[in-house]
Amino acid sequence: MLVTGGGRGIGEAVARGLTARGLAVTVFARTAAELDRVVASGGAALAVAGDVSREADVARLVEAHQARLGPCDLLVNDAGVLVRGEVDALDPARWRECLEVNLTGAFLCARAVVPGMKARRRGRIVSVASISATLGTPGASAYNASKWGLVGFTKCLAEELRPHGVQAVAVSPGSTATAMLQQTPFAPAMTPDEVARVVIFAALDAPAALTGANLEVFG
């Protein structure tokens, strides 16, 4: 099981929840110290540090997971960044960073695990989008576009994978008490554990018929 963004926040809660269900989880993010803390405290089996927007890092992640823990039957695309700024003041480099991490990162990770899932006719990809995807919010165009894109990506992926017995689902949380939310004016409506329970439902418990869904979690 791979959880990107597993070093803190929602991703950490997902990794801990999956581990508590007896699964061998690899956590992936850029900050090695946070990943090591999750592994050392029993929240995951393996830590791999890297950047989801870099193809070579993603390849290294999947290779390490397969070598140490076996085939990857679950990918949770949780890694994300919040970029804020009104359109006329937004640096194009920041716009690109947001799309690269939140959207292209999920594509690269899915692309790396899909061949094995297809071959085994088994697997799920759960991507953490946001209720922001469908809401207009001043100063959040890059973030909202990346998350709306992630929902669209998930729906296409679900249709591509349907004949292969593999599912793709998006989970779109509202305001969740994490480091990311502290960069916004919004009050938390729920804890990372509450969102993680929905992600884990989508990953392990939901019927295959849920494929292509976007589960909104308002708190």
Ligand X SMILES: NC(=O)c1ccc[n+]([C@@H]2O[C@H](COP(=O)([O-])OP(=O)(O)OC[C@H]3O[C@@H](n4cnc5c(N)ncnc54)[C@H](OP(=O)(O)O)[C@@H]3O)[C@@H](O)[C@H]2O)c1
Range in contact with ligand X (rule: CB under 6 A) among 16-24, 30-38, 87-95, 157-165: 30-38
**Whole-number minimum distance, CB 46 to ligand X, in Å?**
15
**Whole-number minimum distance, CB 217 to ligand X, in Å?**
9
In angstroms, the CA 70 to CA 75 distance is 13
Tokens of 117: 């899932």
**Whole-number minimum distance, CB 163 to ligand X, in Å?**
28
Q: How many residues bind ligand X (CB under 6 A)?
A: 28
Burial 9-36 (b: 16+ CB within 10 A, else e): bbbbbbbbbbbeeebebbbbbbeeebbe
Q: Which is nearer to ligand X, 164 or 189 (CB)?
A: 189
Which parts of 131-170 interact with ligand X (CB under 6 A)?
none
In angstroms, the CA 90 to CA 87 distance is 5
Binding-site member from 23, 62, 72, 101 for ligand X (CB under 6 A) = 101
The question of whether 62 is a catalytic residue gets the answer: no
Give the number of other Cβ atoms within 10 Å of residue 66's Cβ: 14
Reference 126, options 167, 98, 162, 161; nearest CA is 167
Binding residues for ligand X, rule: CB under 6 A, are 4-5, 7-11, 29-31, 34, 51-53, 78-81, 101, 128, 130, 173, 175-176, 178-181
